[in-house]
Structure 1
Amino acid sequence: MFNNDRLLVQILLLALLGASLWVLAPFVSALFWAAVLAFASWPLMRLLSSALKGRESAAAALLTAGWMLLVALPLAWLLGNLAEHVRDATELAKNVQMEGLPPPPEWLHQVPLLGERLVRAWHSIDAQGAAFFASLKPYMGQAGNWVLARTAQIGGGMVELVLSLVLVFFFYRDGPRMALFVEKALERLIGDRAEHYLGLVAGTVQRVVNGVIGTAAAQGVLALVGFWIAGVPGALVLGIVTFALSLIPMGPPLVWVPATAWLAWHGDYGYAVFLGIWGMFVISGVDNVLKPYLISRGGNLPLVVVLLGVFGGILAFGFMGLFLGPTLLAVAYSLISDWIGHAPPQLVVPPEVKEQENPPS
């Protein structure tokens, strides 16, 4: 017989949980990134808290301020410079439309099979500049709308980033209590295996963080080398910006593509071609190789599961899927492995029943 009071309490608890999730829904992404950042940098929190003699709130405040200085301010500076460069690019397009293109470079004549055609196309565009730009106007409008939409997304991402950096303070300060709460809740749900799955999730997230940061560091160093070889001014600053933008999808091209265009505009066509190839196949290409390797290193997951988790997670959940995808597949893989490896219980037949079923002849 059902206990009506117990059923009513369960329904109220579910309704309360649903309402709470509804309230937190606008902040899910910011909470997620704050939790990932706090988890990844928790060793720093322990060291700083120990140096401050256990004052966790002061350590959390100092570490949060450090993240603000290290992440938020450089990104704000980058967006400000990006807006200025957009105005410069608009002015450059107007100048080209009014004054025409510069003379074609010498190496363009020497391109095998296509050199003469490229030179003729260059002169044709120069001679018919006004008509050419007039034909591009509809596409330029679409491109402008696309840039405007991306700018709005970047602005929303900046607001979300600042909110995450504010919330990370509370994850630092109350991290142990939150971890104990999650552990107790999982113990109520799945029993003794809660610690195993918590370790599995923690290990997977740690490997993903190591893969993301390690890949970003490699891309920053490779970008620095490419900018230094090509003679781009401010190579060190651009390398640091590449490292920061490597943490977001399609971030490094926002640095090496304008640098390549700058080289081409100043007549360094050879270095422009070099930097374009270096950026496409080395700076951006290393992301597809190094990140899955670092994520799968040190775990017992097959590499194909990691690859599917990384790329499928990004397609399904956006950038959050970089962490959610491998974590979900890791938990599912472990659950299925436990289920397959767990022997089904065998029915034990008492001796008396056996004697009744098979009486002695």
Structure 2
Amino acid sequence: MSDAATTDTQAHLRQSQRPRAKPDPAVEAAIRIGLLAALLLLCYRIIEPFVVPIAWGIILAVATWPGYRRLLGLLRGRSVPASVAFVVIALLVLLVPVAMLSGTVVHGAEWLAQGFETGDLKVPPPPDLSGVPLFGPELESLWRDASTNIQDTLRALEPQLKALGGWLLHLATSAGMGLLHFVMAIVIAGVLLAKSDTGRRAADAIGWRLAGTRGLRFVRLSEGVVRSVSRGILGVALIQAVLAGLGMLAAGVPMAGLWALVALLFAVVQIGAFPVLLPVMIYLFYTADLTTAVLFALWALFVGSIDNVLKPMLLGRGASVPMPVIFIGAIGGFIAAGIIGLFVGAVILALGYELFLAWLAEVAPPGAEYRAEMASETSSPAADPAGGD
């Protein structure tokens, strides 16, 4: 081998044996975080259309676990038949009232359209509303005009009716999408209940990974809060809406399904069902026979007041946080994020409340020292307020 080749080989060996420069840790961390963020973003974009049904499925699974456990006992511990039975029962509970009440909406719309076409739609004369403050005289005048010539009254109210029609169309579209999401959520809840042991272990693992033993307690707290909100707020609102809709359906009120949906929204936001039931009561006293009107009035009083009995019994039950914390979190979450915010807001505020109590327990003085300090302050002579002898 020539001397030049030997020299090149030795130079190459010396260069290969030099220590390589270490990569910058900040650059390495930035690349890893960026790749992880991109992966998480892609995963979210893929499951984004299913986020709401999955969230509702988890909520339904947690809320209905006690009932599913009883169903599991009746079927001798067979999880798949119990989950199928749960899905069938839940779909019947959801779809049967919807089908009954939605039929009244279609019938009421057909009745209104036919009345406008034939001119047979009549509005009874108004009662004396002059004593009603703020809007009594204006309402009586509008009612009288509608009773004498409804076509001219509707033409005068055309802009307001167009806005109301757009709102009703948006409400119907939202209700249809919500119904589809609920059907998907029921199926997802059935799958989650069939795999409840795996789901509980996963939730416990996440809680333990985040906060150790306290994380397990937060997992149990979240379960209790979801059940409390589902029973105390959403459950009571559904009971009121269904009972109100059935009462209006039995009394022959047009579009009873629509008014039941409005009653559900009012009950969820804690306004109550009375703002819907009271106009229906007045309508029946002027259009129906006295017996029907009186029976519906009694039924409306019962439906409108049952939340005062059921809500204190169900809200806060099964959770270690006070009922006002759950209530404020649920209502604030609903205002911020809609119906699903009822659960998210209540869980977040309950967890924050527990973290605040844990912080107080850590910074507060020990019990013996605190009692000794209070005893010394109590036994010491009071200072002279005047500052003199």
Indicate the TM-score class for this superposition, using the shorter chain for normalisation.
0.7 to 0.9
* Alignment check: 8 A CA contact 2:237 2:264 kept: yes
What is the number of residues matched between the two proteins? 334
Change in Cα spacing, 1:141 to 1:200, as seen in structure 2 (3 Å) is same
Residues 139 and 94 from structure 1, CA distance in 2 versus in 1: closer, same or farther, beyond 3 angstroms?
farther
Which position in structure 2 is the counterpart of 1:349?
none
Match of 2:331 in 1: 311
**Kept after mapping to 1: 8 A contact 2:129/2:140:** no
CA RMSD of aligned residues (A): 4.5
* Corresponding position of 1:46: 69
Equivalence for 2:172? 151
- Does structure 1 residue 91 correspond to structure 2 residue 114? yes
Aligned to 1:187: 208
The worse-fitting range, judged by mean Cα deviation, of 326-335 and 254-263 is 254-263
Change (3 A) 1:274 1:325: farther
CA–CA separation in structure 2 for the residues paired with 1:213 and 1:296: 13
2:88 is aligned, of 60, 65, 69, to 65
Q: For 1:208-357, list aligned pairs within 5 A.
A: 208-212=229-233, 215-216=236-237, 219=240, 223=244, 232=251, 246=264, 249=268, 256=277, 260=281, 263=284, 266-268=287-289, 279=300, 283-284=303-304, 287=307, 291=311, 294-297=314-317, 299-343=319-363
Contact 2:124 2:147 in 1 (8 A): no
Instruction: Provide closer, same or farther for how the CA distance between residues 79 and 225 of structure 1 changes in structure 2, counting only shifts above 3 A.
Output: closer
Deviation of 1:338 (Å) = 0.8
2:251 partner SS: coil
Deviation for aligned residue 1:60 = 1.0
- Asked whether the 8 Å contact 2:231–2:315 carries over to 1, the reply is yes
Q: How does 1:116-135 map to 2 (within 5 A)?
A: 124-135=145-156
Note closer, same or farther for the CA distance 1:62–1:268 as it changes in structure 2 (3 Å cut): same
Aligned-partner Cα distance in 1 for 2:298–2:131: 18
Relative to 1, partners in 2 of residues 1:217 and 1:150: Cα closer, same or farther, differing over 3 Å?
Answer: closer
**Secondary structure of 1:104's partner?**
coil
Measured in 2, the distance between the counterparts of 1:118 and 1:274 equals 27
The Cα shift of 1:68 comes to 1.4
Deviation, structure 1 residue 164: 0.9
State the SS of the aligned residue for 2:157. helix
Matched, 1:169 2:184: no
Q: Deviation of residue 320 (structure 1)?
A: 0.7
CA contact (8 A) 1:217 1:243 kept: no
Aligned counterpart for 2:98 among listed residues 75, 81, 89: 75
Which whole-Å deviations, capped at 9, do the CAs of 1:203-248 have from their partners, x for residues lacking one? 11121122136524763697499769xx8269xxx89x96997488
Read off the aligned partner of 1:232 and give its amino acid letter.
Answer: A
What SS is found at the alignment partner of 2:173?
helix
Identical positions, percent? 28
TM-score by length of 2: 0.68
Q: Distance in 2 between matches of 1:326 and 1:298?
A: 14
| Change in 2 beyond 3 A, CA 1:218/1:155 | closer
Structure 2 segments unaligned to the other structure (5+ residues)? 1-23, 366-389
* Larger relative contact order, structure 1 or 2 (CA cutoff 8 Å, min sep 6): 2
The answer to whether the 8 Å contact 1:100/1:126 transfers is: no
Distance in 2 (CA, whole Å) between partners of 1:253 and 1:89 is 25
**In structure 2, what residue type is equivalent to 1:27?**
F
Which ranges of structure 1 fall in alignment gaps of 5 or more residues?
A: 346-361
Q: CA deviation at 1:46?
A: 2.4
Once the two structures are superposed, residues 45-93 of structure 1 have per-residue CA deviations (whole angstroms, 9 ceiling, x without a partner) of 2233333343212221121122112212432343233222222123334
Cα distance change on mapping 1:173 and 1:291 into 2, 3 Å: same
Moved more, 86-95 or 319-328: 86-95
CA distance in 1, matches of 2:78, 2:167: 48
3-state SS, counterpart of residue 77 of structure 2: coil
Q: Compute the displacement of 1:100 (Å).
A: 7.1
Structure 1 residue 335: deviation in Å? 0.8
In 2: Cα distance, 1:181 partner to 1:117 partner: 61
CA distance, structure 1, for counterparts of residue 27 and residue 132 of structure 2: 85
Q: Which residue of 2 aligns with 1:55?
A: 78
Is the CA contact (8 Å cut-off) linking 2:325 and 2:349 kept in structure 1? Answer: yes
1:19 Cα offset (Å): 2.2
Cα shift at 1:171:
0.8
Asked if structure 2 preserves the Cα contact closer than 8 Å seen for 1:222 and 1:282, the reply is no
